[in-house]
Chains A and B, each alone.
Chain A
């Protein structure tokens, strides 16, 4: 039996679309599925722009979000039209559940930022399960990094402006009501945790959830095709894989919404911490 798997036979196998008993192993998805060849490549002032699938989808759906909300709120009436009602659902969710809970009424001027952040992340995440696109744009690490850096600049600037440069770091590193020897351990940890680790975990949380979700869906989809065979193992395995793909798609929808909500909520929480010093 092992003779069948001799190197001579394996060398003649064509593994471009492998199936269960063909001698080719399971083609597990690697990080290669996140590499996209550029559709359009140009250079401006020495900076290389490669427009590939993630960039095209990010631009297209950003424009879609803007167009949708301009249509919904463009001519807002007191008795809302249908599109305005749907838009209001989204806006009131960000205002009541995220901004008013964490920052309170005084933070109403930050709602546009939080609103844009929430819907941008949610739509970019949603592309993971949209047929045709099927790539969560936020699983390209550059997008969460850019968002996290924006949030970092916002809460650092707000903290320095509202509490003064020395006041901001003093309130962060030396909270009142702590015995003096503890300050030697607490202050460096607080400084590193609030200034350096926060943008890192913010971006990694969003990126890793979308990255893992995309690989998960890819594994189940490839397994459905790989296990398609007339044997018992083939029928059982293929059907189970297909069911798991469907269940995982629903699960990914929940995770996408949750990650957008968490990112926005943590942003609001950091802004609140910068505006009012935590006592």
Chain B
């Protein structure tokens, strides 16, 4: 279907590059999210250094959950593009 749209719009060339663009767009959100997580984590450690262990655990949990979305964006072109 994407080939039909490309023909209609007059685009020539290899459309596989769309996968790379897709990943680039998909990495914006998780990038911001991970920055927020670790920024707030560092602030929390600065406020209460003795809670370092608890805060670090929660930081890593949040990081893994946000990272999953970015990696979904990396894998999607392989799944849908072959």
Contacts and interface: CB of A to CB of B under 8 A. Distances in A.
Interface of A: 31, 97, 101, 201, 204-205, 207-209, 211-212, 258-259, 261-262, 265
A80 B61 CA distance: 33
Interface string B44-66: 00000000000001001101110
Contact of B67 (A101, A209, A261, A265): A209
B30 to A, nearest CB: 12
A262 B61 contact: yes
Interface residues of B, number: 13
Given A204-B68, A205-B68, A209-B67, A265 B75 contact: no
Q: Which of A204, A207, A208, A261 counts the most B-chain CB atoms under 10 A from its CB? A: A208
Contacts of A97: 57
B72 interface: yes
B64 A258 contact: yes
Nearest to A261: B60
B75 A208 contact: yes
Contacts of B74: 208, 211-212
A209 B61 contact: no
A209 to B, nearest CB: 6
A90 to B, nearest CB: 18
A194 to B, nearest CB: 15
B78 interface: yes
A205 B71 contact: yes
B57 to A, nearest CB: 7
A208 B61 contact: no
Interface of B: 57, 60-61, 63-65, 67-68, 71-72, 74-75, 78
B60 A258 contact: yes
A212 B60 contact: no
Q: Which of B57, B63, B65, B68 counts the most A-chain CB atoms under 10 A from its CB? A: B68
A76 to B, nearest CB: 28
A204 B75 contact: yes
A211 B75 contact: yes
B72 A208 contact: yes
Contacts of A259: 64
A258 B65 CA distance: 11
A208 B60 contact: no
Contacts of A211: 71, 74-75
Nearest to A208: B71
Contact of B68 (A31, A208, A265): A208
A241 B65 CA distance: 30
A212 B75 contact: yes
Contacts of B60: 258, 261-262
Contacts of B64: 205, 258-259, 262
